[in-house]
Structure 1
């Protein structure tokens, strides 16, 4: 079934019957398709928003478009937005099509051994920090830093360079600008696997640049170890791990990087379940954890750069003692 979308700036098409056109389907917030822009026959990403209330009307859609296109101007590494289109089936957002893979892909498959090391994890972290620094300086908090939202573009030869990766940041649907949502969200969704305690416990006014850095630190950890920092099949147990447990040592991650990430993910350990505390007590505890993390992307980037330089130094062989007189 061919879908044609006529936007303000172009017309776009994708085919629901073609498996190659479906990138991601059945997600709670949206579905993602590979389409084509008719004017130049180039590939685009088409996102269908499932929540019909997240865009209120055409005026709100225009404001969202202006906001997203303004955000992308802050850094070339931020995904480009081409159009927002209203149809009877709801709203569609058209983005640029990126060639490469997400961090989620490289950590979930054995196909990228050069890209799952402490050194590469540092490189990705440094690049994302550069983007976040510009966002945070303009009052923008991404609020959804996770492996599937960090994209690694291929170079001209079709490879992803372990030494100089082209990192892109995507998916700004739940981002905030000066504390306000871009989209109309009654309850801001989040990924428990990568969200800081203040986000998991719905203290939205405490979510700031340190929250993004917490999430980024968990992604860096996952790149180096090839496993999430926290995981449990029971959702309640996973929430408890996220709000009350520190990241664990892993033989795949360097000692220096682990120490840095431990600071970036600092949190207060609750001796009782959160519902046993007052809102004021919870806020004070959450603030304690936030105050011990890296306070901005610049400082986190400097620390990652220092660890990277240390890891990049050639290892010196210990001299062997002679037993001959």
Structure 2
């Protein structure tokens, strides 16, 4: 492919990428002293009037939508050989596809980015445009003001509302295209983009695009809560009538799950030196207009704007009284049984993490009493167990914020603020697998915590070797339950 020297006033420096339809080059705007991306129609298509019009239409559609979540078009023109081109924002950080090559994103990063992308697609829909090719390589990453933003690109096969009823041929990308996009005259509409958003979110959460016989996200990554399964699965429904009705609804559903997902960074009792292993971490700026997602793969700061106005009929996630107030009135736990007051809020938070039979703040408190007598400094190197909940670091790694994308915590890092909420995640995820096991559901949960799901299933309850432990938990449970 011959490198053109310039496109209008823009100097062309090097090829960024190419496909069968067009190539994208890195250019430089000398007047503004700024890098730009220049998309040029492939020379073997330049004589096709219909393809030229489609190429120019892509530029017009991008230009018509005023959103920072979409690639912006600044200029349009023709090369001396007649090939059309248009000039757009340069994504200096590459694509989401390149980011995902390293594996799944941390849970909160994936959800926030999915919500940002959904808002971008909603902006297209508000202008009567259906993208039809939502996939990681069409989500670009650009640094701006010291942070990174996503930009949706490539409207090459997009359709406007006035053309959705016309004959459509199969179009899209395998793994991300809705079933109706694989059919001749399948009449894809905005719900086809919802499917694409669901597939993209699934990929960010699990590290792979969904297949026909896909597993739930939580089955691939155990740290993913089941309410997120429901949001993503609804977007991926084969029948479009059963999907979220719009990208905006999908974004709002993600927002509601974010209210129920722990987004705290890994806590430290003291400053910890940086480790050579690269990791991704999350930082929220509470109460600000912006939430900054910190991906330490390169020290990236993601700027994620707060939600747009809630979708009609949507409500903000409810906060448990006990979780937000530390249970001062004893709604969840007795106040006269020696539960350390500094841990009550964390205990209530863990015990109300989800709805699983047997799970309660009283159970969490009883297990902490049995495990360590509420000793936050417990250290048992022989058993490799540490802290108030007797976590093994290599196990806790999977239940900490960010899951196994973060390294295993050091014993000194296993604080109550990390340990106790992790118990809630653990019991919510694995507890659902023993709901049909006979016996006391609370003690069965305690048995899983000390052994495994398979052991409790095989024993049809708490394994005999752990009965004394379960008996202690049962006694404390009775002490801590409110009257």
Report what 2:109 is aligned to.
Answer: 120
Report what 1:46 is aligned to.
Answer: 38
The TM-score, its normalising length taken from structure 2, stands at 0.49
Assess, with a 3 A threshold, how the Cα gap between structure 1 residues 123 and 217 changes in structure 2: closer, same or farther.
Answer: same
Report what 1:210 is aligned to.
Answer: 191
Give the drift of 1:256: 2.0
Report what 2:158 is aligned to.
Answer: 175
Matched, 1:29 2:29: no
- Show structure 1 runs of 5+ residues with no match: 16-20, 161-165, 231-240, 268-288
- Which aligned pairs between 1:187-202 and structure 2 lie closer than 5 A? 189-202=171-184
Larger Rg: 2
The CA distance in 2 between the partners of 1:299 and 1:98, in whole Å, is: 28
Matched, 1:251 2:251: no
Report what 1:282 is aligned to.
Answer: none
Report what 1:78 is aligned to.
Answer: 70
Report what 1:69 is aligned to.
Answer: 63
The CA distance in 1 between the partners of 2:82 and 2:53, in whole Å, is: 18
Aligned length in residues: 266
Report what 2:233 is aligned to.
Answer: 262
Residue in structure 1 matching 2:253, options 303, 314, 323: 303
Residue in structure 2 matching 1:223, options 194, 204, 212: 204
- Show structure 2 runs of 5+ residues with no match: 265-348, 352-363, 371-471, 477-483
Give the drift of 1:168: 1.6
Partner SS state of residue 101, structure 1: coil
Assess, with a 3 A threshold, how the Cα gap between structure 1 residues 103 and 117 changes in structure 2: closer, same or farther.
Answer: same
Give the drift of 1:305: 0.9
Residue in structure 2 matching 1:130, options 93, 116, 119: 119
Report what 1:90 is aligned to.
Answer: 83
Residue in structure 2 matching 1:316, options 343, 347, 350: 350
The CA distance in 2 between the partners of 1:122 and 1:193, in whole Å, is: 19
Partner SS state of residue 100, structure 1: coil
Matched, 1:290 2:254: no
The CA distance in 2 between the partners of 1:299 and 1:60, in whole Å, is: 30
Give the drift of 1:107: 0.8
